[in-house]
A and B are shown apart, each in its own frame.
Chain A
Amino acid sequence: MWSWLLHRITGVILVVGLLYHFILMHFMGHDNYSYEAVIQRLSEPSWKVFNIVFLFSALYHGFYGLNGLITEYVKGNSLKNFLKFIIIILPLALAFFGIKIVLF
């Protein structure tokens, strides 16, 4: 149940986050994505928090979706378990690299 609820919540975060991203990057003029502006933004703590929340939402939402697909579509238990293992390891690795990029 919690996993499902989190899927819904991250879905909402993604919609809001994406909207924000689009408005900022595509409709607010060119100044917003010059090199300086982007670097400046990335060094602000509030943006770091936003990016990390967004990163986790995207990873969780995407891989929980894959989990659903595997549960429903994959026949055969060993393949199923293997794939389920992969979709735990892979997002963790991606999260690690993502955090590295955001924070350093």
Chain B
Amino acid sequence: MSKYYTFKIKRYLPDENPKIRWDVFRLKLNSMERVLDGLVKIKETMDGTLTFRKSCAHGVCGSCAMKINGKNRLACQTLVKDLPEKIEIEPLPSLPVIKDLVVDMTLFFQKNDKVLPYLINEEPPPERERIQSPEDQHKILESITCIMCGSCTTSCPVFWTDKEYLGPSALLKAYRFLFDTRDRAIEERLEAVTGEHGVWRCHSIFNCVEVCPKEIDITKHILKLKRLAVKKGFKGGPE
């Protein structure tokens, strides 16, 4: 069953006009189609200048995160039939906009780098690979499913006001390695997440959990990080 939808899109085309404007498009979409299909249709048939990021179109790459009807979500994972007939689309909040719905994610990825997002293990590797038991894998399974779309960090009020805050996504990444039984850099990584702009800035607001397209309970993971830091602190670990 197809239906007409109104797409109201926040536009920013710095080459043409440094002012923000809202454009309205009306288009017919069927109940199987997603917001991303609508955007592609607009770009292909109505206004070629409309700019947005997409790649996989199947909720895996994390590039199509945007604010749809007031909530950060993946355009490729949001069916239009689940939305009202008026659909309002903006870029992710709180990051510099490059053009239309494309934001500059540099800051976001820098935060990710700060938590050393790679396995650190100086022990000589075994003959084949470092084996992880299914139980051990289960401990970090939820955090592994993050696709780094940036929905969580840009929905976080602490990040809105404190741009230095590591943010839910980077903290989740820290969790992913801190609780990986093959990793050996607990101290280093805890050092990285327990600074003034680290875990202590999380006030359990749960905005991140509400928007995460992979339904990760991010706040729970951050709280576990705090607990780990306190435990290590008692044993004389990093402050």
Using Cβ atoms and an 8 Å threshold, which residues of chain B touch A73?
Answer: 161-162
Q: Bound complex: CA of A72 vs CA of B196, how far in Å?
A: 10
Q: Is the interface of A mostly helix, strand, loop or mixed?
A: helix
Q: Is A15 an interface residue (CB 8 A)?
A: no
Q: Would you call A93 an interface residue if the criterion is a C-beta within 8 Å of the partner chain's C-beta atoms?
A: no
The residues of B that contact A5 with a CB separation of less than 8 Å are 230, 233
Closest Cβ–Cβ distance, residue A43 to chain B (whole Å): 39
Give the CA-CA distance A99 to B177 in the complex, in Å.
47
**Is A29 interfacial (CB 8 A cutoff)?**
no
Contacts known (A2-B239, A4-B226); A71 close to B233, Cβ less than 8 A: no
* B-contact 0/1 string along A1-15, CB 8 Å cutoff: 110110000000000
Confirm or deny: B218 has a beta carbon within 8 angstroms of a beta carbon on chain A.
no
Interface size grouping (class) on chain B: 10 to 19
Contact A1 B162 (CB under 8 A): no
Chain A residues within an 8 Å CB radius of B203? 68
B158 at the interface (CB under 8 A from A): yes
CB contact under 8 A between A71 and B239, given known A2-B233, A5-B230: no
Q: Top 9 A-B pairs ranked by shortest CB distance? A: A72-B162, A1-B233, A4-B200, A72-B161, A73-B161, A1-B239, A1-B229, A5-B230, A72-B158
For the A-B complex with A72-B162, A73-B161, A73-B162 known, give 15 more contacts whose Cβ atoms are closer than 8 Å: A1-B200, A1-B230, A1-B233, A1-B238, A1-B239, A2-B239, A4-B200, A4-B226, A5-B230, A68-B200, A68-B203, A71-B197, A72-B161, A72-B165, A72-B201
Footprint of B on A, CB under 8 Å?
1-2, 4-5, 68, 71-73
